[in-house]
Amino acid sequence: MKLLTLNFLTCAIKSCKSTPASFPLHPRDAELEIVEADLNILFLKNILPRLMWDELRVIGSELGLPELPSTPPTREDLVEPSTTAIAAPTSDGTRDAGEEEEEEIPTQTAKDLHRVLLETCIKEGKLVCGNCGHEYKVLEGVANFLLPGHLV
Amino acid sequence: MPDYLVRLVQMHESFRKAELQALADVAGIKIEFVRYDEDSPFCIIRLPSDSAAKTVISRGILSQGIYELWGQGSTYDELHASVKEISQPRWKKYEQTPFRFTLDGYRGTKSQAEQRTVIESFSYLNFQGPIRMRDADATFRVFEDYDTHALTPKYLYLGRFVASSGRDAKTTYDLKKRHYISTTSMDAELALLTANIALAAPGKLFYDPFMGTGGFPLACSHFGTIVCGSDIDGRSIRGTGGSARKGQTGKMDVNGNFKQYGLESRYLGAFISDLTNTPLRILQHSNMAGDGYLDGIVCDPPYGIREGLKVLGSREKLNVEERETHLNRFQESTYIPPKRPYSFTAILDDILAFAAATLVEEGRLSMWMPTANDEDIELAIPTHPCLEIVSVCVQPFNKWSRRLLTYRRLSGSQIPPGALDMVKKEYEKGVKADDLNDFRRKYFQGFKEFERLRQETDTPEKLDDTKGISGKWREKSTSG
């Protein structure tokens, strides 16, 4: 599972969900793997406002990844300015797919973000809830969030 | 805006208009339907330009191509008159262009000699360019629409070819050639169609809570979407060590499917979970729009027939001793969490509530749901105050149908105040699958009531193409 998914995952136990400590889940004994993927600027731009940045930094530091900047990058930080001076900013990202726009050149910021969110995968390990301490196992890159009988 | 003729395919009729509308929506292009008929593969729409027409149709699954309309009429005389009236200013442009002229008949054919006569009758267009049957720069096509067994066509069109559709994807993603599928994998054509209607597009994030072997996420990623999914059965995600298919060895899993089509970059991964105990972030107050993070949700929830409808939990409430056993054993590697059958109407409402809490504004939910072809035992279309129904498409089978329901997430201001103070709904109670799932019970009883009703009324073809829809949706679909 790519690290970006952790940005959306909390503890599955209902009583935990309402407490802030249930997010993010903390990776433990994690075996990481880098799977190369095509850099997708449009997606990065769209997903940027939906990232929980502080929590993402926590996950990053717990995994021993290079530290992320303390403030989230803006959409403008993702593309090299020189080539896109004339390109109109898109607010929803749905329109520019088919249009003939100049190829956008990703900045180092975009490359770094891409590396962390979409190329770093958890292969094996555990995800632990910060509230109840329940451990969710990750096997072959697939996390198991099924709750045992006594917790449903 | 000029008129364009879309050559549709004559199948999955009730999906066609919804697809064209969705394709225009996803590209942000204004579309106007001039003529559309469920019984005809020819649809006339109004679009701003050739390039808009190309953009719209290039992703189309239920169409073959789009043509600039040069004329129409119910006889050849009328067609010629119409061509002279509408398209005369355009003739000059193609005077020297290498071109070809062909004929396309629906429910009727013409012999080679007759076709030639028809084509020659357009000689007044005065095209001087060389005729090239291959790689022509301009392709003109005469369309003939016949009634069944009729000898002469009832309507005719002349069009200039603009662009062909994306229907080839249906062959690329054909289940017969996919490495890893299961018993309930969705047909590639319908999965791609679902992705289109849900507005899958580059840069978006889609999720499938009942992914199985990942057919829907795969279809969505074909259109550039980043996808993830989950399933209560981890075996379907992780896959198996081998394949029953001849010549295929090695591990087969969802990841492998994405690799097969070169789409791994768009696959975020999957996890094992149950929708009623989802690990995904859920807003505590679903009236607060704008906090969603999914652009789309596509799914085909288990109907409880070929795939059991189960959620976490036990049939009977656990006593102290049993709870103790679970507590002591759950960390063992062989531990399997207990599951129980669940109400079908409840899971549909759960999906809607989940969608309302996780979709961004204007995000879409497209889900399949089965129903009997008989109004008395038909399942109602579920609703949610935060979601507006966009389209209802029906795939009829013999005694039952399934519908593709598509919803749009409303923005906070569009939701009437107080609409969210919902009364807690009553669902079927019981511990057995049959008690909980009306559709399942009727299915295994062979839809006897349906048969009985049909015999009583003795009008075998009473059900028209609106079957499976009732109430205000029926009105909507017949008028539209």
Instruction: Please write the tens of the pLDDT for every residue from B54-75.
Output: 999 999 999 999 999 999 999 9
Position B139 scores a pLDDT of: 96
C-beta of residue B144 within 8 angstroms of C-beta of residue B41: no
CA distance A82 to chain B (A): 23
Is 50 exceeded by the pLDDT of residue B144? yes
Domain made up of A3-79+101-151: CATH architecture:
Single Sheet (2.20)
**With an 8 Å Cβ cutoff, are B277 and A12 in contact?**
yes
Q: Note whether B340 contacts A: Cβ–Cβ < 8 A.
A: no
Predicted local distance difference test score (pLDDT) of residue B290: 57
B237: closest chain A residue by CA: A142
- Which residues from chain B sit within 8 angstroms of residue A33, using beta carbons? none
Among B82-91, B217-226, B424-433, where is mean pLDDT lowest? B424-433
Axis-axis angle for helices B13-27, B50-57 (nearest 10): 120
Paired sense of beta strands B400-409 and B387-396, if any? antiparallel
Percent of chain B with pLDDT over 70: 88
Nearest-CA distance A25 → chain B (Å): 10
Decide: helix, strand or coil at residue B261: coil
Cβ separation B226–A50 shorter than 8 A:
no
- Mean per-residue pLDDT, B22-51: 96
Per-residue pLDDT at B459 exceeds 60 = no
Q: What is the pLDDT along chain A (152 residues), one digit of tens a residue?
A: 999 999 999 999 999 988 889 999 999 999 999 999 999 999 999 999 999 999 999 999 999 999 999 999 999 999 988 654 454 444 444 444 444 456 789 999 999 999 999 999 999 999 999 999 999 999 999 999 999 999 98
Query: A5 to chain B nearest CA, in Å?
Result: 7
Rounded Cα distance between A101 and B216, Å, is 30
pLDDT at residue number A96 = 44
d(CA B350, CA B476): 26
Buried b (16+ CB within 10 A) or exposed e, B405-428: bbbbbbeeeebeeeeeeeeeeeee
The distance of A59 to chain B (nearest Cα, Å) reads 16
pLDDT score, position B414: 84
Mean pLDDT calculated for residue range B11-19: 96
Read off φ and ψ for residue B229, nearest 5 degrees: -160, 175
Mean pLDDT (whole number) for B255-282: 95
Is a pLDDT exceeding 60 seen at residue B475? no
A8, B270: Cβ pair inside 8 Å? Answer: no
- Higher pLDDT pick, B286 / B112: B112
pLDDT at position B467 is: 53
What is the mean pLDDT of the segment spanning B362-371?
Answer: 94
Minimal Cα–Cα distance from B96 to chain A, Å?
29
Q: Which of B280, B184, B24, B258 is nearest to A17 (CA)?
A: B280
Q: What mean pLDDT is predicted for residues B248-259?
A: 85
User: What was the pLDDT predicted at A87?
Assistant: 47
Shortest CA distance to A121 belongs to which of B60, B268, B234? B268
Inter-chain CB proximity A94 and B234 less than 8 Å: no
Contacts of B330 in chain A (CB under 8 A): 148-150
- Identify the H or E element spanning B257: helix B254-260
Q: Give mean pLDDT, residues B351-360.
A: 94
B420 touches chain A (CB under 8 A): no
Q: Do A12 and B284 touch (CB under 8 A)?
A: no
Q: Looking at the partner chain, which of B269, B284, B312 has a beta carbon nearest the beta carbon of A147?
A: B312
Backbone angles phi, psi at B53, to 5 degrees: -60, -40
Token couple for B377? 């035992």
At residue B474, the pLDDT reads 53
CB B327 to CB A1 under 8 A? Answer: no
Chain B residues 3-32 with a CB less than 8 Å from chain A = 26-28
pLDDT: which is higher, B20 or B417: B20
Rounded to whole angstroms, the Cα distance separating B250 from B254 reads 13
Chain A, nearest residue to B232 by Cα: A146
Which residue ranges make up each domain of chain A? 3-79+101-151
CB contact under 8 A, B203 and A1: no
Question: What fold is seen in the domain B170-435?
Answer: Rossmann fold (3.40.50)
The structural domains of chain B, with segments of one domain joined by +, span 3-165, 170-435
Cβ distance of B323 and A8 shorter than 8 Å: no
Residue of chain A whose Cα is closest to the Cα of B359: A50
Q: Measuring CA to CA, which residue among B454, B309, B318 is closest to residue B377?
A: B454
Indicate the pLDDT class of residue B440, thresholds 50, 70 and 90: confident
CATH code for the structural domain at B3-165: 3.30.2130.30
3-state secondary structure of B17: helix
Residues 289-308 of B with CB under 8 A from A: 293, 295
Q: What is the pTM of this model?
A: 0.89
Task: Say what the pLDDT of residue B471 is.
Answer: 54
Nearest CA to B126 out of B109, B140, B114, B113 is that of B140
Mutate to test the interface with A, among B30, B205, B226, B322 (most CBs of A within 10 A): B226
What residues of chain B, 43 to 72, have a C-beta less than 8 Å from chain A? 55
Nearest neighbour of B280 by CB, restricted to A8, A95, A150: A8
CB contact, 8 Å: B282 with chain A?
Answer: yes
Q: Any idea which of B11-20, B22-31, B176-185, B257-266 has the lowest mean pLDDT?
A: B176-185
Q: Is the pLDDT of residue B284 over 70?
A: no
* Chain-chain contact of B312 with A146 (C-beta, under 8 angstroms): yes
Which among B201, B273, B326 has CB closest to A148?
B326
Determine contact, residues B358/B297, Cβ cutoff 8 Å. yes
